[in-house]
Structure 1
Amino acid sequence: MQEGIIIKGIGGFYYVEIANGSIIECKARGKFRKENISPIVGDKVKIELLDNEHGVIVEINPRKNQLIRPVVANVEQAIVVFSLKNPDLSFTLLDKLLLFIEHHGVEAIICLNKADLDEANIFAKVKEIYERVGYKVIKTNGKTGEGIDTLKELLKNKISVFAGPSGVGKSTLFNKVQDKVKMETSEISKRIGRGRHTTRHAELIEIDKNTFIVDTPGFSSIDLSFLEPEELQYTFKEFSDYFGTCKFSSCIHDKEIGCSIKNAVTDGLISNERYNAYVEILKELKENRRTRK
């Protein structure tokens, strides 16, 4: 019996990397189909070897988490990439991504790319806001290589996925930290009118020992339907110090009077950017609830 991790799955075959670095082509034991369980990339599994190159998956270890887009298990962190310019950073979109990622049990690291365009020193502002509430914030330049060594260090001994809106340089960063798979960049896509790297199935790319990145950007859509408007406040870490101190126990920190969180914003204890993002997301959740009725 050997233990390993599924790094690729296609056409009913699963490619499992075992401790010695060998890749074993496996089929899944029939019991999984009867139990309506499908092995997926990222699964930690036990296999029985049939020979030096083939085996059978006999056990799937419990998953820490499972993502839908891309379909992958046991992702430990998401590198949340936004650009400092072109396109401008949206605090609301950043906060939506952060709460979505954390809902799936994945740690988030904020990566601000295109450092050479940061004439307004947005990086310092974002770093101050988000490190104050516990996030790691790094700065990179995918074209010059600035910050790439720091990024590689953060990737070590983890399974990571890149996430973020279009045009921020996710693919460029992906190509900088490894040279096994070339992912198309927006410049290439526009110039040749098609993608150089078109992946239908997620795959883990091993960039160092026990260090994997998912070969396609994750979280391509942000569905917040798991959250009710009243629950949103609990996803903003800096709000917790003020719970129970508002004038009204039902306060959701929007239009109510006597709100301690709004007072903290006025006093500079909570950032305007984070609070404004909260209000925008709250409005979206309220509208979603109305459309469900």
Structure 2
Amino acid sequence: MNSGIIVKGIGGFYYVDTGDKIFECRARGKFRKEKVTPLVGDRVKITIQGAKGQGVIEEIEERETELIRPPVANVNHAVIVFAAQKPEPNISLLNRFLILAETQEIDITICFNKVDLIQNQELSTLVDVYENIGYQVIGTSTKQSIGLKDLSEKLMDKITVFAGPSGVGKSSLLNAIQPNLRLQTGEVSSKIDRGKHTTRHVELLQLDFGGWVLDTPGFSSLSLDFINEEELQYFFKEFNRFIGACRFNGCRHLSEPDCAIKTALKEKQIDQSRYESYTQLIDEILQTRRY
């Protein structure tokens, strides 16, 4: 059997890169019976059948990580891309992406793209919130070649998922880093201030300088209803040093008295927009449970 990695999956076919060649493969029926769906990023073993050299996926190695959206396996780094302007960053959605990445315990880099469109002071305000939490933040511009070298260094020898809404420039960034990728890009719609969906499927792309990247379809909403209300607080990194200092053991940091999180919020040790994202998510989780 040959070993390889699934780089693309379309219509029940999986494209497996063995290092020498990419084989079009089907998955064995046993995976359907076991309710296991092969994912882009899976390390697999295949057999080659027939004169055309088509393959069959025989085994899927144990996954190190598994993301729900986008559905990918074995990613160890996430670059969460939002535009500094056009479209204006949706901070609530950015926080959701961060929580999703935190659930998988993978390295995270926040990328604010199109920084040529805003003033330095505006960028500093955005960056400071997340750097103070402990996230790595990079400002980039493909038009002015800002931050591209720093971003490339973050990608080296990792399997990285590029995630974020449509129109923020994910594909443009990847094209700027490695032009031979030739990813399709699209302009932001002037009517709705959102990007056109130019990336149609999840695909793993190899980088010349070492590592892999996943260009993924953009989306404007993200459900985290698989997280329960007790767990959620642990995925807000800045909460961690205050958890356990509340008056009540089961404190949800909403209306309870003597809450260490709310005290930290008043003292500006926790950013208001982050706390609002937390309460919004708690409310959504509780609403989901009711139904």
| Band of TM-score, shorter chain | 0.7 to 0.9
2: CA distance between counterparts of 1:242 and 1:234? 11
Offset of 1:30 from its aligned partner?
A: 4.7
Distance, in Å, in 2 between the alignment partners of 1:189 and 1:270 is 35
| Aligned-partner Cα distance in 1 for 2:165–2:105 | 20
Question: What's the CA shift string for 1:18-37, capped at 9, x where partnerless?
Answer: 24x32234444454344443
> Where does residue 39 of structure 2 map in the other structure?
40
Deviates more, 1:212-221 or 1:159-168: 212-221
Q: Once the 2 structures are TM-superposed, how far is the Cα of residue 284 of structure 1 from its aligned partner?
A: 3.4
Aligned-residue offset at 1:186: 2.2
Match in the other structure for 1:182? 183
Q: Greater shift after overlay, 76-85 or 29-38?
A: 29-38
Amino acid at match of 2:126: V
Partner of 2:128: 128
- 2:203 matched to which residue of 1? 203
TM-superposed deviation, 1:53? 4.8
Q: Aligned partner of 1:95: which letter?
A: N
Give the distance between the partners of 1:134 and 1:143, measured in 2 at CA: 28
Aligned residue for 2:7, secondary structure, equals strand
Q: For residue 86 of structure 1, what is the aligned residue in structure 2?
A: 86
Q: Which residues of structure 1 form unaligned runs of 5+?
A: none
1:239 CA displacement: 1.5
SS of 1:172 mapped into structure 2: helix
For residues 87-127 of structure 1, the C-alpha deviation after alignment (integer angstroms, 9 at most, x for no partner) is 33333222122102222454321001111122262332333
Counterparts of 1:39 and 1:138, CA distance in 2: 33
Q: Whole-Å Cα distance in 2 between the matches of residues 69 and 97 of structure 1?
A: 10
Q: Is this contact kept in 1: 2:167–2:196, CA < 8 A?
A: no
1:215-246 deviations in Å (ceiling 9; x for gaps): 32366641121223343222212212222222
Evaluate the alpha carbon distance shift between residue 278 and residue 31 of structure 1 in structure 2; reply closer, same or farther with a 3 A threshold.
Answer: closer
* Amino acid aligned to 1:160: T
Which secondary structure state, in structure 1, belongs to the residue aligned with residue 167 of structure 2? coil
Match of 1:143 in 2: 143
Aligned mates of 1:277, 1:34 — CA distance in 2: 39
Paired residue for 2:249?
A: 249
* Cα 1:30–1:224 shift into 2, 3 Å: closer
Deviates more, 1:86-95 or 1:47-56: 47-56
Say what the alpha-carbon RMSD is for the aligned residues.
3.0
Counterpart CA distance in 2 for 1:186 and 1:250 is 47
Alignment gaps of 5+ in structure 2: none
1:189-238 CA-partner distances (Å, limit 9, x unpaired): 99xxx979563x42212122652222323666411212233432222122
Q: How many residues align?
A: 286
Please report the TM-score for the alignment, with normalisation by the length of structure 1.
0.82
Give the distance between the partners of 2:21 and 2:121, measured in 1 at CA. Answer: 47
Could you tell me whether the CA contact under 8 Å between 2:265 and 2:271 is conserved in 1?
yes
Measured in 1, the distance between the counterparts of 2:156 and 2:106 equals: 16
Change (3 A) 1:289 1:111: same
The answer for the alignment partner of 1:107 in structure 2 is 107
Paired with 2:210 and 2:240, the residues of 1 have a C-alpha distance of 36
Partners of 1:252 and 1:188 in 2: CA distance: 40
Whole-angstrom CA distance in 2 between matches of 1:176 and 1:93 = 25
Q: Secondary structure at the match of 1:132?
A: helix
Change over 3 Å in CA distance of 1:220–1:277 after alignment to 2: closer
Aligned pairs for 1:1-293 (under 5 A) are 1-19=1-19, 21-49=20-48, 53-119=53-119, 121-178=121-178, 179-187=180-188, 197=198, 199=200, 201-208=201-208, 210-217=210-217, 221-290=221-290, 292=291
Decide which moves more: 102-111 or 215-224: 215-224
Amino-acid identity (%):
45
